[in-house]
Structure 1
Amino acid sequence: MTDRQSIPLPERLRPRDLSEIIGQSHLLGDDAPLKLMIDQGHLPSIIFWGPPGVGKTTVALLLAQAVDRPFLSLSALNTGVKELREIIADSGDLLTPVVFIDEIHRFNKSQQDALLGAVEKGKITLIGATTENPSFEVNSALLSRCQVYTLNSLDENSITQLLTHAIQTDQILKEKNIFINEYEALIQFAAGDARKALNLLDLVASTFEDQSEEKNHITNALVVKVAQQNIARYDKSGEQHYDLVSAFIKSIRGSDPDAALYWMARMLKGGEDPIFISRRMLIAASEDIGNSNPNALLLAEACLRSVQVIGMPEARIILGQCAVYLATSAKSNSTYLAINRAMALAEKTANLPVPLHLRNAPTQLMKNQGYGVSYLYPHDYAENFVKQDYLPPELLGTKLYESARNKREVEGERLQQRRWQQNHETPE
């Protein structure tokens, strides 16, 4: 393998000029905002928001080159506050540098605060890249000092253009004499991600011999075959990402703390966002544990907030504690099933009116029409309970919630039955 062949296709085809960027014409086309800024020699601090593989890093680099600024690239995964302060201090000797921070949403508050003063004083021009909504993940003070631009997933025409450009201009692919008969499978597997599209094309091309005199045809069937055999290689963050988180959640649901910790560690080692892991545990705390242990939801919420503040690598400790707690907790999906039944019923019966005694009556006219009349205030009765219908007449007797066989929910069910027995007659 030659040195050039060892370079991945996306890197070999990385644009060298903003005019070569495919698929972001709303930002870089004629009269588009970034194009107008560069034409004026102006580059403010920017947050690029968009899915993976749409060119955030490349656009940042080319913007810096276009205004002739030094470019420093950092990763939020391995840059701490100390390193940030050192970089900012060193920037005083340079023409205002462009500091690019990939995955800036992974910076905790103190890390983002370390950037604030330098951005505000113009010591650096910050370009942050994030796949998460910056409104939620970026410090509001820092966000207010940056322009936010959204990069879009590549549409079918852009992916087709990218692939055609690759086989026509890349020297290695040209030697293989490739012809793309069908684009549909390539487009489908790419899912709007330029990096995925090029990596998959490279994989398919590797099945062809070099210096081919006859055309090597790429068909949908060939693409599917190659992709299924090599999916982890060209899409580390795709199917494997979902398989790992699926194994993690199922281990929690299955009350296996060892497996839960293992799959979590695999995700963290693979660069998974700890915020994503926290959110999945927050869902599991309600879906799989629910009212069998309401404290699980509180702990999972505290875990999410703590991880946002602490950041990696210390956040792994908090994540591990929460995962073990959830895995070893009592389990119940009774409320998960109940809300699903309720949603399905609501969709079928959305036309049923609210019974008059349950309606709000803020005006005298509404009161005259019977709104709120005959409503029984539970706190006026023994044990704060009175027998009363709360569903539309057409749905009386409908049972949506069935308690699970755990101590807390069974006790709640017994209490409800006892109250109904004590109040079997509606007081006048």
Structure 2
Amino acid sequence: MFVDKVKIFVRGGDGGNGMVAFRREKYEPMGGPAGGDGGRGGDVIFRVDEGLRTLMDFRYQKHFKAKRGEHGRSKNQHGKNAEPLVVRVPPGTVVIHADTGEVLADLTRKGQEEVIARGGRGGRGNVRFATPKNPAPQVAENGEPGEECWVVLELKLLADVGLVGYPSVGKSTLLSAVSAARPKIGSYHFTTITPNLGVVQVDDGRSFVMADLPGLIEGAHEGVGLGHQFLRHVERTKVLVHVIDMAGSEGRDPYEDYLQINQELQLYRKALSDRPQIVAANKMDLPEAEEQLKRFREKVGPKVPIYPISAATRKGLRELLFAVADQLDQIPDQPLEDEAAQARKVYRTEEPQEPFTIHKENEVFVVKGARVEKLLKMTNFQYEDSVRRFAHILKEMGVDDALRQKGAQEGDTVRIGDMEFDFTE
């Protein structure tokens, strides 16, 4: 089964907790602090594996969570960092944040790696909080939570050549004739509903990868028919072979088909209209094909390379393959960047977010904010010194003053995350 779009959940590992500990040596029973830091949580890394061709494995496993770092130990021993979780993806995978639509990674090269969800740092042990005023603090941090998000994986096939054209013009027959690929072939529209890849060997020793893609219809750029499912695979091809039923066996005009397909490509992404294109005038073994080809040449002009072929009888295929290979040789050997990849190179200035917000639910004041909620998760409430530090940081952030402005009074309930507190002056 060919799967080219999935939605999965990724989460970096939490950092290990820092420890509250003190030296207990023979002649120093009440020594100074000796709690070590926690280890860093594991990152979730996506790595390109050339052996994969679809995203089918992600249909059965949709959650990927890295391990947390080890907790700190006594005698100032730091916890071990967790190993990263490596997720293998096929070349051509685009990783998109499900909520924001931001492209997080475009994975095209063999062995390429990108960190998608970072692990949290380890919490600090009480050694880190020792000061002249408080040489033996009972303060240690919990590990920082790892990053988490839902992401959409889209596969855009990495093929040198893409076969485009209306349904039933002979794209699958052509691929099966020039390669070892065996796509499904039938005399009805949309026989091909998923892309097929084949390696084509030219007589002079050159080779390239050709993709047979689902047929286009009018409105495909808006998702009509197989629409976007087809068009995203065209983006990475270096050369387009436009297969046309030159015999007009279904009553269509070959020249109108040619214009319509090119219009759909341009409407979907303007850069596709500039992609090198070769016309394969197929079904030349059928009646009226020669007359149609003559009219077609007159309309498109001499600048469009046209190769009469018959995929069924294999006539003209050798000349077509040589032309395709020659065209590929003229293109620099580097992946074509789509518009999304180019857009990511533009520097963007993001608006600063509010550090926290406060609203009232019934009689409870609810404080929300990424920094406040992270502080809550990293505070170890078993120790009084940690609680004091938590309250001090909230005050420095201005949470206390903001609560007073909202009308909070002595004894009112304040909720942060899953915990509730009494507001005190």
Structure 1 length-normalised TM: 0.20
Return the index of the structure with the highest Cα Rg.
2
| Richer in strand (by share) | 2
Structure 2 length-normalised TM: 0.20
